[in-house]
Amino acid sequence: MYLLSILLFTFVYLLSFNSVIEENRDRYSIQTFAIVMITIFLISMPVTTTFVSLMLEENQREHRDLISFLQINSVWFAGAGGLVAIFLSALTMVRLKQKRIRHKTSNLNLIVVGLFAGVVSFASAYKHLAFFSGDDAGVFLYEAIPAIDDIDCNAPILLVKWEPDSKKPTAWRCPTGVAFNINSPTPFLPWGSYEEGESSKLNEVMTILMKNAVKIEKRRHLDVIITS
Protein backbone atom coordinates (compact mmCIF):
# COMPACT_ATOMS: atom_id res chain seq x y z
CA MET A 1 0.00 0.00 0.00
CA TYR A 2 2.87 2.37 0.81
CA LEU A 3 4.67 1.80 -2.50
CA LEU A 4 1.36 1.99 -4.36
CA SER A 5 0.58 5.35 -2.76
CA ILE A 6 3.97 6.75 -3.82
CA LEU A 7 3.57 5.54 -7.40
CA LEU A 8 0.01 6.87 -7.67
CA PHE A 9 0.94 10.24 -6.19
CA THR A 10 3.96 10.63 -8.47
CA PHE A 11 2.11 9.58 -11.62
CA VAL A 12 -1.12 11.52 -11.08
CA TYR A 13 0.44 14.78 -9.88
CA LEU A 14 3.29 14.91 -12.40
CA LEU A 15 0.91 14.07 -15.24
CA SER A 16 -1.52 16.76 -14.15
CA PHE A 17 1.03 19.50 -13.53
CA ASN A 18 2.88 18.74 -16.74
CA SER A 19 -0.17 19.79 -18.76
CA VAL A 20 -0.93 22.73 -16.44
CA ILE A 21 2.58 24.21 -16.65
CA GLU A 22 2.63 23.85 -20.43
CA GLU A 23 -0.61 25.86 -20.70
CA ASN A 24 -0.05 28.39 -17.92
CA ARG A 25 3.32 29.00 -16.28
CA ASP A 26 2.15 31.34 -13.55
CA ARG A 27 3.65 31.73 -10.09
CA TYR A 28 1.06 29.48 -8.43
CA SER A 29 1.69 26.59 -10.83
CA ILE A 30 5.46 26.75 -10.39
CA GLN A 31 5.20 26.93 -6.58
CA THR A 32 2.75 24.03 -6.47
CA PHE A 33 4.97 21.97 -8.75
CA ALA A 34 7.91 22.61 -6.41
CA ILE A 35 5.79 21.44 -3.44
CA VAL A 36 4.86 18.29 -5.37
CA MET A 37 8.52 17.47 -6.05
CA ILE A 38 9.43 18.05 -2.40
CA THR A 39 6.54 15.82 -1.32
CA ILE A 40 7.67 12.99 -3.61
CA PHE A 41 11.20 13.31 -2.24
CA LEU A 42 9.99 13.18 1.37
CA ILE A 43 7.48 10.33 1.22
CA SER A 44 9.89 8.13 -0.74
CA MET A 45 12.86 8.66 1.61
CA PRO A 46 12.69 5.16 3.18
CA VAL A 47 12.83 3.67 -0.33
CA THR A 48 15.72 5.93 -1.32
CA THR A 49 17.60 5.16 1.89
CA THR A 50 17.25 1.42 1.32
CA PHE A 51 18.70 1.70 -2.20
CA VAL A 52 21.50 3.99 -1.03
CA SER A 53 22.43 1.48 1.70
CA LEU A 54 22.56 -1.33 -0.85
CA MET A 55 24.67 0.74 -3.26
CA LEU A 56 27.15 1.66 -0.52
CA GLU A 57 27.21 -1.80 1.04
CA GLU A 58 30.75 -2.58 -0.13
CA ASN A 59 32.07 0.68 1.36
CA GLN A 60 29.76 0.66 4.36
CA ARG A 61 32.47 1.61 6.84
CA GLU A 62 33.41 4.74 4.91
CA HIS A 63 29.79 5.88 4.60
CA ARG A 64 28.57 4.58 7.96
CA ASP A 65 27.64 8.03 9.28
CA LEU A 66 25.69 8.93 6.14
CA ILE A 67 23.80 5.62 6.11
CA SER A 68 23.02 5.92 9.82
CA PHE A 69 21.75 9.48 9.38
CA LEU A 70 19.48 8.48 6.49
CA GLN A 71 18.12 5.41 8.28
CA ILE A 72 17.33 7.36 11.45
CA ASN A 73 15.69 10.33 9.72
CA SER A 74 14.07 8.75 6.63
CA VAL A 75 10.88 7.83 8.52
CA TRP A 76 10.61 11.37 9.91
CA PHE A 77 10.91 12.67 6.35
CA ALA A 78 8.18 10.27 5.22
CA GLY A 79 5.87 11.48 7.98
CA ALA A 80 6.53 15.11 7.08
CA GLY A 81 5.90 14.28 3.42
CA GLY A 82 2.57 12.74 4.37
CA LEU A 83 1.50 15.98 6.05
CA VAL A 84 2.60 17.99 3.01
CA ALA A 85 0.60 15.66 0.72
CA ILE A 86 -2.52 16.20 2.85
CA PHE A 87 -1.89 19.96 2.78
CA LEU A 88 -1.50 19.80 -1.00
CA SER A 89 -4.87 18.05 -1.34
CA ALA A 90 -6.52 20.71 0.82
CA LEU A 91 -4.81 23.42 -1.25
CA THR A 92 -6.16 21.83 -4.43
CA MET A 93 -9.70 21.80 -3.03
CA VAL A 94 -9.47 25.47 -2.04
CA ARG A 95 -8.06 26.36 -5.47
CA LEU A 96 -10.91 24.59 -7.25
CA LYS A 97 -13.47 26.35 -5.08
CA GLN A 98 -11.93 29.81 -5.52
CA LYS A 99 -11.62 29.47 -9.29
CA ARG A 100 -15.01 27.72 -9.50
CA ILE A 101 -13.40 25.00 -11.56
CA ARG A 102 -15.62 22.04 -12.32
CA HIS A 103 -14.94 18.88 -10.39
CA LYS A 104 -13.56 16.93 -13.30
CA THR A 105 -12.24 13.43 -12.80
CA SER A 106 -8.64 14.62 -13.09
CA ASN A 107 -9.15 17.23 -10.36
CA LEU A 108 -10.84 14.74 -8.05
CA ASN A 109 -7.97 12.32 -8.67
CA LEU A 110 -5.51 14.90 -7.38
CA ILE A 111 -7.46 15.32 -4.15
CA VAL A 112 -8.12 11.61 -3.53
CA VAL A 113 -4.61 10.44 -4.43
CA GLY A 114 -3.02 13.21 -2.37
CA LEU A 115 -5.09 12.29 0.68
CA PHE A 116 -4.40 8.58 0.17
CA ALA A 117 -0.63 9.05 -0.11
CA GLY A 118 -0.58 11.51 2.77
CA VAL A 119 -2.55 9.34 5.17
CA VAL A 120 -0.61 6.16 4.32
CA SER A 121 2.78 7.85 4.63
CA PHE A 122 1.97 9.73 7.84
CA ALA A 123 0.27 6.74 9.48
CA SER A 124 3.19 4.46 8.56
CA ALA A 125 5.70 6.89 10.04
CA TYR A 126 3.64 7.52 13.18
CA LYS A 127 3.10 3.80 13.88
CA HIS A 128 6.79 3.09 13.30
CA LEU A 129 7.99 5.86 15.60
CA ALA A 130 5.46 4.92 18.29
CA PHE A 131 6.60 1.28 18.19
CA PHE A 132 10.28 2.18 18.51
CA SER A 133 9.72 5.00 21.01
CA GLY A 134 11.20 3.02 23.91
CA ASP A 135 14.72 1.73 24.47
CA ASP A 136 13.57 -1.90 24.62
CA ALA A 137 12.21 -2.19 21.08
CA GLY A 138 14.30 -3.93 18.48
CA VAL A 139 14.56 -6.56 15.79
CA PHE A 140 15.38 -10.22 16.26
CA LEU A 141 16.09 -13.10 13.92
CA TYR A 142 12.92 -15.13 14.25
CA GLU A 143 14.86 -18.37 13.81
CA ALA A 144 17.02 -17.50 16.81
CA ILE A 145 13.97 -17.22 19.08
CA PRO A 146 12.60 -20.49 20.51
CA ALA A 147 9.31 -21.65 18.97
CA ILE A 148 6.34 -19.70 20.32
CA ASP A 149 2.87 -21.17 19.86
CA ASP A 150 0.90 -17.93 19.80
CA ILE A 151 3.00 -16.27 17.06
CA ASP A 152 2.65 -17.26 13.41
CA CYS A 153 5.43 -15.54 11.45
CA ASN A 154 6.99 -16.73 8.21
CA ALA A 155 9.45 -13.84 7.93
CA PRO A 156 13.14 -14.09 8.87
CA ILE A 157 12.85 -11.20 11.34
CA LEU A 158 10.49 -10.23 14.12
CA LEU A 159 10.10 -6.73 15.53
CA VAL A 160 9.65 -6.80 19.29
CA LYS A 161 8.65 -4.14 21.82
CA TRP A 162 9.48 -5.54 25.23
CA GLU A 163 8.73 -3.91 28.57
CA PRO A 164 11.10 -5.52 31.08
CA ASP A 165 9.37 -4.19 34.21
CA SER A 166 5.89 -5.14 33.07
CA LYS A 167 4.00 -8.41 33.04
CA LYS A 168 2.00 -7.30 30.00
CA PRO A 169 2.25 -9.41 26.82
CA THR A 170 5.10 -8.35 24.54
CA ALA A 171 4.08 -6.54 21.35
CA TRP A 172 5.44 -7.93 18.08
CA ARG A 173 5.30 -7.24 14.36
CA CYS A 174 5.96 -9.69 11.55
CA PRO A 175 6.67 -8.40 8.00
CA THR A 176 4.20 -9.62 5.37
CA GLY A 177 5.29 -7.26 2.59
CA VAL A 178 8.22 -5.07 1.62
CA ALA A 179 10.44 -3.92 4.49
CA PHE A 180 12.83 -0.97 4.28
CA ASN A 181 16.09 -0.23 6.11
CA ILE A 182 16.22 -3.93 6.88
CA ASN A 183 19.84 -3.74 8.07
CA SER A 184 19.17 -0.97 10.57
CA PRO A 185 18.27 -1.46 14.25
CA THR A 186 14.78 -0.14 13.41
CA PRO A 187 13.53 -1.62 10.10
CA PHE A 188 10.66 0.33 8.55
CA LEU A 189 7.50 -1.70 7.96
CA PRO A 190 4.90 0.50 6.25
CA TRP A 191 1.30 0.46 7.41
CA GLY A 192 -0.45 -2.60 6.00
CA SER A 193 2.71 -4.60 5.30
CA TYR A 194 2.91 -6.45 8.60
CA GLU A 195 0.95 -8.51 11.07
CA GLU A 196 1.05 -7.54 14.72
CA GLY A 197 -0.05 -8.84 18.05
CA GLU A 198 0.91 -9.47 21.65
CA SER A 199 2.36 -12.60 23.20
CA SER A 200 2.74 -13.62 26.84
CA LYS A 201 5.07 -16.45 25.88
CA LEU A 202 7.27 -14.04 23.95
CA ASN A 203 7.51 -11.95 27.11
CA GLU A 204 8.83 -15.00 29.00
CA VAL A 205 11.32 -15.79 26.22
CA MET A 206 12.55 -12.18 26.12
CA THR A 207 13.07 -12.19 29.88
CA ILE A 208 15.23 -15.32 29.64
CA LEU A 209 17.20 -14.01 26.65
CA MET A 210 17.91 -10.69 28.31
CA LYS A 211 19.00 -12.33 31.58
CA ASN A 212 21.41 -14.55 29.65
CA ALA A 213 22.72 -11.53 27.74
CA VAL A 214 23.38 -9.70 31.02
CA LYS A 215 25.20 -12.74 32.43
CA ILE A 216 27.38 -13.01 29.31
CA GLU A 217 28.19 -9.27 29.46
CA LYS A 218 29.13 -9.51 33.15
CA ARG A 219 31.32 -12.53 32.45
CA ARG A 220 33.11 -10.71 29.63
CA HIS A 221 33.68 -7.71 31.89
CA LEU A 222 35.11 -9.99 34.60
CA ASP A 223 37.42 -11.71 32.10
CA VAL A 224 38.74 -8.32 30.98
CA ILE A 225 39.49 -7.34 34.59
CA ILE A 226 41.30 -10.64 35.27
CA THR A 227 43.40 -10.51 32.10
CA SER A 228 44.35 -6.89 32.68
Q: Do residue 114 and residue 17 come from a single domain?
A: yes
> Looking at the structure, do residues 17 and 99 belong to the same domain, yes or no?
yes
Q: Are 123 and 141 in a shared domain?
A: no
For 116-131, the pLDDT digits (tens) are: 999 999 999 999 999 9
Domain that holds residue 188: 137-227
Pair (149, 179) in one structural domain: yes
The verdict on 17 and 120 lying in the same domain is yes
Edge-first strand listing for the sheet containing 194-199? 137-141, 157-161, 170-175, 194-199
Average pLDDT over the chain, rounded to an integer: 80
163 shares a domain with 69: no
- Domain termination residue (choose one: 85, 102, 131): 131
Please tell me whether the overall predicted TM-score, pTM, comes out greater than 0.85 for this model: no
User: Is the model's pLDDT at 77 over the cut of 90?
Assistant: yes
Q: How does 34-50 read in b/e, with b if 16+ C-beta sit within 10 Å? A: ebbeebbebbbbbbebb
Count of structural domains within the chain = 2
Q: Are residues 78 and 22 in the same domain?
A: yes
pLDDT tens readout for residues 169-225: 888 999 998 899 988 888 999 998 999 998 888 887 777 776 665 443 433 433 333
- pLDDT-derived band at 86, boundaries 50, 70, 90: very high
